Chain A
């Protein structure tokens, strides 16, 4: 059933003639967390607008969602009509299951210019086929504790480079005793973020790129942060949130969706946080990156792809819906026209009157696109060990990255950039 032979993906039929045609029937949508909530809410509007349709949104939970997707893709059946897949996971699936998704190029290709280009690059497969539409993104900036910075006499605006950041960290620690940032020891910390800021991921042009000068620079920065005692290590998401709530760290370099966690879990810290662009590797370098973000796609097993597409289009290419999902569920839109909405430039009480969303909206247009591959999970495991090796056991960044590159190359059969 899936795929029009030759390992290609297939189109959703009748796209042109039926552009104004009616859709009917029922689809199931899989998602999780606030994304499921948002879709459940807007599905009702969609059903009203298209009588005779039913959109059943199922919250499958995040933790094991990919197990469900993997098994369904692998078995060739049993999946929903619309799937939520995080942008950085999409290439892994399209590479391993090349005919498992509908090709949306004819229908969605025209929206290419409307989406953040880093997010768009995650949904285009081989031969620029569009296999999903981007939903939300995670533009990065530096959340900081206004009180800690004030106490140490550090102006957050003066943090132009990561060197400034380290210097400020030392001062803040001396003045207030607070460390600079929290690292979750079950993942690779800020390494992927620092790499994307410099325009690369673990791979470049299909080759292993974890020992490039950029990677060495990122890892050296992380080692410096550790060596100067500026890192607080916590275990898992729960530890990360608790550490922040307890004020263990003066900053959190992370994505826009962190605001949701702050307002939900630490309402008492209202007025203590501010947001400023990420420090750059050079004073005029890129001041942002990306963490997370998801996309919606239609698996080739879907029996009602036209309705599936109609729902995706309704949800993601409408400024009003995108802004509503940002407002209610905190999903930061990859759909650029939505960023002009006045809601984004409004002052936010939680951030002491700062227009924090505006900082992200400005940065969102400059996120460097990077390459994701089917081997990211493999590389990621090795990089987590490497980060821990350098930070916790004092290995030399260059040597450790060289070893990691060798290991990834061996595990994936890819060549190295160097």
Chain B
């Protein structure tokens, strides 16, 4: 399937090898395909997106809306909680995403071995964490990571470690969050990578086998470079997921202790829905959008380049 992950961004529409491919068909035909989605976006997102952007330039006082220009955006700079949420996100981006993608890659390669029996079952088992409902996820992890009597600490205790205060100490809470994120999403990414691996034709594996390279170096030399777009896809979606992180840290720690697991979206949720400060929440949301756009673009610039060589 050769996943192509180069987004055709409006700003940079020129794709090198695309010359003969796109058919210049009547606009009408294209809209038959793109129309339904476009209509849905126009109907259900145009207004909310616009409304939230406008709102980010306003503030409310006792029901009255007031235009404040860029004040809400300026507020963020001096807001220690917001800064902390960015720091936490940075830590997760730098530590969790690479570890998870690396593990997922290993897992995908192993699950792609033809001699492996019950491959379907193995795959399903590893995918299972991604299908947990959030409520269950929260309760299970709180029980597993309980300081006294939690399963994890009991196992560690048996080998003479701990007890570790998994969810109550700022540092350990971060580690717990990273571990539980990795638990939930590694299999999911592995399945996407696996689909990518399987789209690489047999010939490639055979060609590599013929020229005498062993399994490991086959992967390193022949297969992985071809998988680059899929890996990039996983990296980018995980990055977006991290910058929008809400579910896991909200249910596990509510962003605490001491804001150690606070992320921008948990913070904007608190600001908007609990403190009813909608203007500020909208401003934070748009900063998140800007960050995602900037970081994704950087990732493409850095890693998407090579295939166009």
Residues of A within 8 A of B (CB): 7, 66-67, 70, 74, 92-93, 95-99, 185-186, 233-236, 238-239, 242-243, 246, 248, 374-375, 377-378, 381, 384-385, 388-389, 392, 407, 410-411
Would B257 and A236 count as touching, CB distance under 8 A?
Answer: no
Do A235 and B275 contact each other (CB < 8 Å), given the known contacts A185-B168, A186-B257? no
Inter-chain contact A375/B275, CB cutoff 8 Å: yes
User: Closest CB-CB distance, B281 to chain A, in whole Å?
Assistant: 11
Q: How far, in angstroms, from A186 to B168 measured CA to CA in the complex?
A: 8
Given contacts A96-B62, A233-B147, contact A385 B258 (CB under 8 A): yes
- Chain B positions within 8 Å of A410 at CB level: 78
A66, A67, A98, A238: the one contacting B62 at CB < 8 Å is A98
With contacts A233-B147, A239-B146, A381-B270 taken as known, whether A96 is within 8 angstroms of B254 at the C-beta atoms is: no
Distance, CA A99 to CA B79, complexed state (A): 31
Residue among A67, A235, A375, A389 making CB contact with B146, cutoff 8 Å: A235
A70, B273: Cβ atoms under 8 Å? yes
CB neighbors of A among B210-254 (8 A): 253-254
CB distance from A300 to the nearest CB of B (A): 12
Q: Which residues of B contact A233 (CB under 8 A)?
A: 147, 165, 168
5 smallest CB-CB distances across A and B, nearest first, come from: A377-B274, A235-B167, A185-B168, A96-B276, A377-B275
Chain B, interface size category, equals 20 to 34
Residues of chain A with a CB closer than 8 A to B147's CB? 233-235
Given A185-B167, A234-B147, 13 further pairs, Cβ under 8 A:
A95-B62, A186-B257, A233-B168, A235-B147, A235-B167, A235-B253, A242-B149, A243-B148, A246-B149, A384-B256, A385-B259, A388-B258, A392-B168
A-B contact pairs, 15 of them (CB 8 A): A7-B62, A7-B64, A96-B62, A96-B63, A97-B63, A98-B63, A185-B167, A186-B253, A186-B256, A238-B139, A242-B146, A375-B275, A377-B274, A389-B258, A410-B78
Expressed in whole angstroms, the minimum distance between the Cβ of A93 and any Cβ of chain B is 8
- Kindly provide the distance from the CB of A202 to the nearest chain B CB, expressed in whole angstroms: 13
A392–B143 CA distance with the chains assembled, in angstroms: 22
Residues of chain A contacted by B63 (CB below 8 angstroms):
7, 96-99
Nearest-CB distance from A3 to chain B (Å)?
A: 8
Does B276 contact A92, Cβ atoms closer than 8 Å?
A: yes
How far apart sit A407 and B277, CA to CA, in the bound complex (Å)? 17
Minimum CB–CB distance from A368 to chain B (whole Å) comes to 25
Q: How far is the CB of B244 from the nearest CB of chain A, in Å?
A: 17
- Chain A contacts for B169, CB-based, 8 A: 392
CA distance A95 to B64 in the complex (A): 11
Indicate which residue in A70, A243, A246 contacts B276 across the interface (CB closer than 8 Å): A70
Question: Taking CB as reference atom, which chain A residue is nearest B75?
Answer: A411
Chain A nearest Cβ from B137, distance in angstroms: 14
| Contacts A96-B60, A235-B147, A407-B80 given; does A388 touch B257 at CB 8 Å | yes
Asked whether, in the complex, the Cβ of B275 is within 8 Å of the Cβ of A378, the reply is yes
> How long is the Cα–Cα vector from A99 to B275 in the complex, in angstroms?
18
Contacts of A388 in B (CB 8 A): 256-258
Tell me, rounded to whole Å, the shortest Cβ–Cβ distance linking B129 to chain A.
21
